[in-house]
Every structure is written in structure tokens, then in C-alpha cells.
Amino acid sequence: MKQEVTLRQSLTLVQVVALGLAWMTPMIYFSVFGIAYDASQGMITEAYLLSVVAIFFTAYSYSIMARIFPGSGSSYTYVKQSLHPIPGFTVGWAILLDYLFSPIIACLTFGIYLNAQFPAVPAYVWIVLLNIVLAVVNIAGIKFSASLSKLFVLFQILFIAFFCTYLIRGFDGFEGVMQPFSNLDVGLPTILAGASIICFSFLGFDTVSTLAEETIDAKKTIPRAIMLIILIASVLYVATSYLIQITYPSLTFANLDSAGFELMKLAGGATLGAIFTTVLIFAIFTQGLTSVTSVSRLLYVLGRDSILPKRFFGALHPKYRTPVNNIVLVTIVSLLALVISLDMAVKFVSFGALTSFAFVNVSVIAECYIKRKLRSPKQTVQYLIFPLAGASFIIWLITLLDANALMLGCVWLVAGLAYYLCRTKLSGAFRAGSQLFEGTSAIQKHEQQKSV
């Protein structure tokens, strides 16, 4: 009898946190710094504090659902189990936008930065090379990916800590320590506008839920990992923002997209700028690595559930116990980085992630507060008020997406639902035909026996 191949359960809490932070990419703080600083009119510390509070509710909802349904399907599994298979598929299809286009963004930015460093080498060479390396590392196994991610995440955290220490070095007593909170001319709507952009710096904590079946004691480890990732990122982002505001009360940038690099040159000259670029390239690599890991696992679960063709998507390599077919497919799709714009890829990611977040908050209410009737005062706060707050904020963020992003996202969802309905209808017809054939064969057999 052939033994079923399953995912290898080997990840520890530290490795899961490292993979989550690698996907989130702490260095993304500097990538969106200029846009966030401009949107919040310099009140970036307050904007980060508001975004931390807002994103906490959604992270808390993910931790609850990860404890109840410790499978690798992430939001797809949570919504399918708590609401219905159709909205479950809709969420799974939406999050595919996030997960499929994240490696594309990593490849694009990798090519852009390295082409800037080495103009003689075209960007497409770096894009293709990164794709091949990401595929090989992911096929080799999740444990190797986790170890590599842990190392590169450590580089990012050490750089941010070094930069903060560099800023503290210039302090002169305690004068100005309250300056970041003293600008009363900037209103709450302005700070919220900055927070709406900053929230994208936290995207990625949810991806660790796709690793549940490869994690030791997933019911405890995954929820802890989610909250640890949010905590670590919050401390890094808020502390850095606070120190920047104290050191440089007023900043202007020639180009908002490259404001992080301009900030580095302002603080430490060309040397710090070069170190910053090097660490950022490592960060982009790890983000791409964990993106491929996450999307290949989601495709595996969709294949295992026969939502996608099981023979291809639900298969694991007998030796490496990784979804090699999915990894190769994602690698091919990621070659879209050769032709697609970064702006378009970001729009797909934003729509997919926010749609998933909103549904996960709703699934907590459906599963815990309605189905399981967990309605004590404490449980009402946990399973109704918190997820309602999270869903409300996420829906508000969705409304802030531009018309093109909303239109493209809706077209993707409609196409997915059409596929799902056609597939289930065909499957139903196939099962009915099989049953009819079996019934006819049984009757014929009975008639033959009777005649004998």
C-alpha cells in the first residue's frame, strides 16, 4: 500500500516568526516612509500608533481562527468552515491576488535596485535569476527557507537598531522629547490618512497561518507567532518614527518614493546609504522567498480540497515533501515581473489582502459569537466588539483604494466565482452520471443473474 505524502511538521515558534517577518519585511518601513510622512504631514509617530491599534484587531482575529482551525488554508479555511464554502472560496481566490503578486513585487524591486547599483546588467537578468533561486530554495524544504529567512530578518532588525542608535547619539538631554506629540495644528483626519498608508507596512503577519501543517503544535504556535510578529513590527516602526521626529522635526524630500534613501544620506552620508541599499536587497530577497512559500501552500490546500485540480495542485514531492508543482507554477507566473508595472502589482496585493482581512474578522463573529454562543461579557468583547472594530477599519481602508484597484479586484472575484460554480456544477453532474452508471450496471447484473 502506497504511503500518503504529507507536509513535514518541523517549524518552531522562532522559525515561524522569522518567516512572517521576512514576508512583512521590516525594511518596508523606509520604502513607504516618504509617502506616509507626507500624508500625515510629518506626524508619522501618531500615524503609526493609530495603525498599530487598528491592525491589532485583525491580527487578534487571525490568532483566534488559527487556534480553532489549525490548517494551512489561512483565511480560505477560516471562512469556509465558519461561514460557507462559497464565501470561503471567494476569500481564497481574493488572497491569491495578494500571494501571487507578492513574489512579482519582490522580483520587480530586486531588479530595479540591482540595476541601479549595476547599470551594465539589465533588470530582467536579476528578475529571472531571483526567480530561479527562490524556486530552488523553496523546493529544498521549508526548514531551509525558515533558517535563511531568520538570518536575513536578523540583518534587517540589526540595521534598524543601528540606525536608531545612530539617531540617539545626537540627542542633547531631554529637550524636545515631547515634540512628536506637540503639533496640535494637524487634525485627526490627516493622521488617519497617514495611518491608512502605513497599515500596508504590517501586511504579512497573516501568511504564517498557511504554515500550520508544517508547524510543531500549530494550535499554540501560530497564534503566538501572529501576535509576536505584530508586537516586534510595532516596536520597530513606532520607535524609529519617534526618533526620526525628534532628530529631524521638519523634513522635505526631493522624491517621496526614495525618501528612505534620502533620509539615510542625511543621517550618515553615502556610507550609510550604501549599507541601507544592501540590507534592503536582502530584505527583498527574503520577502520573495516567503511569498513563494505562502502561495504554494495555499494552492496546495485548494488542490487538496479539489477546488483546483487535485492531481497537479494537491501533489507533494515524495522526497522533499514540498508542493513542487505549485512552486514551479508560481515561478512561471512571477515572470510577469518582466512586463507588469509595480503600481499594478501593488494594487492587486492591496485588494486581495484587505478583502481577506475583512472576511476573517466576520468569521470570528460567525464561528464564536453566533455558532458557539460565546457571549459572556469578556467573550462579547473578544468575539464581537474586537472583530467588528477590525472589520470596520479594514472596510474603510478598502474604500480608500482607487477605482482601478477596486474594478480589477472585482473582475478577478467574478472570474473566480464563475470558475467555482462551473467546476462544482460539472463535479455534481459527473457524480450524478457515475451514480446512474453504477445503478444501471447493478440492474443489468441482477437481470443477468436472474436469467441464469
Q: Report which of residues 344 and 416 the model is more confident about.
A: 416
Q: What is the mean pLDDT of residues 190-204?
A: 76
- pTM value > 0.95: no
Query: 313 pLDDT band (50/70/90 cuts)?
Result: very high
pLDDT at residue 214, as a whole number: 84
- The number of helix segments (H) and strand segments (E) in the chain equals 17, 0
Taking 70 as the threshold, does the pLDDT of residue 108 lie above it? yes
Q: What is the mean pLDDT of the chain?
A: 83
Between CA 123 and CA 109 the distance in angstroms is 9
Within 13 Å, how many C-alpha atoms sit on residue 296's CB side? 32
Three-class SS state of 215: strand
pLDDT at residue 194, as a whole number: 75
Between CA 53 and CA 202 the distance in angstroms is 12
Taking 50 as the threshold, does the pLDDT of residue 92 lie above it? yes
Q: What is the mean pLDDT of residues 363-388?
A: 95
Distances (CA, A) of 124 to 112, 113, 156, 220, 278: 9, 12, 26, 42, 19
Q: What percent of the chain has pLDDT over 90?
A: 29
Q: Which long-range contacts (CB under 8 A, 24 or more apart) does 395-399 make?
A: 395/358, 396/196, 397/196, 397/199, 397/354, 398/351, 398/354, 398/355, 398/358
pLDDT at residue 122, as a whole number: 92
Between CA 371 and CA 33 the distance in angstroms is 43
pLDDT at residue 162, as a whole number: 92
C-alpha grid cell, residue 123:
533588470
Q: What percent of the chain has pLDDT over 70?
A: 88
pLDDT in tens, 281-295: 888 888 888 889 888
pLDDT at residue 124, as a whole number: 92
Taking 50 as the threshold, does the pLDDT of residue 46 lie above it? yes
What count of residues does the chain have? 452
Q: Report which of residues 365 and 119 the model is more confident about.
A: 365
pLDDT at residue 452, as a whole number: 46
pLDDT at residue 8, as a whole number: 73
pLDDT at residue 259, as a whole number: 82
Q: What are phi and psi of 215, to 5 degrees?
A: -110, 140
Q: Report which of residues 317 and 257 the model is more confident about.
A: 317
Lowest mean pLDDT among 240-249, 254-263, 271-280: 254-263
Contact residues for 159 (Cβ-Cβ < 8 A; gap 6+) = 27, 275, 276, 279
Taking 90 as the threshold, does the pLDDT of residue 365 lie above it? yes
Q: What is the mean pLDDT of residues 359-384?
A: 95
Q: What is the mean pLDDT of residues 377-386?
A: 96
pLDDT at residue 2, as a whole number: 52
Between CA 338 and CA 329 the distance in angstroms is 16
Taking 80 as the threshold, does the pLDDT of residue 432 lie above it? no
Query: 235 pLDDT band (50/70/90 cuts)?
Result: very high
Cβ 42 vs Cβ 251: under 8 Å: yes
Q: What is the mean pLDDT of residues 431-443?
A: 47
Q: What is the mean pLDDT of residues 258-264?
A: 84
Cβ 141 vs Cβ 320: under 8 Å: yes
Distances (CA, A) of 12 to 19, 147, 154, 289, 450: 11, 11, 16, 18, 64
pLDDT at residue 391, as a whole number: 93
Query: 261 pLDDT band (50/70/90 cuts)?
Result: confident
Between CA 4 and CA 304 the distance in angstroms is 12
pLDDT in tens, 141-187: 777 777 777 888 899 999 999 999 988 876 665 565 666 666 656 67
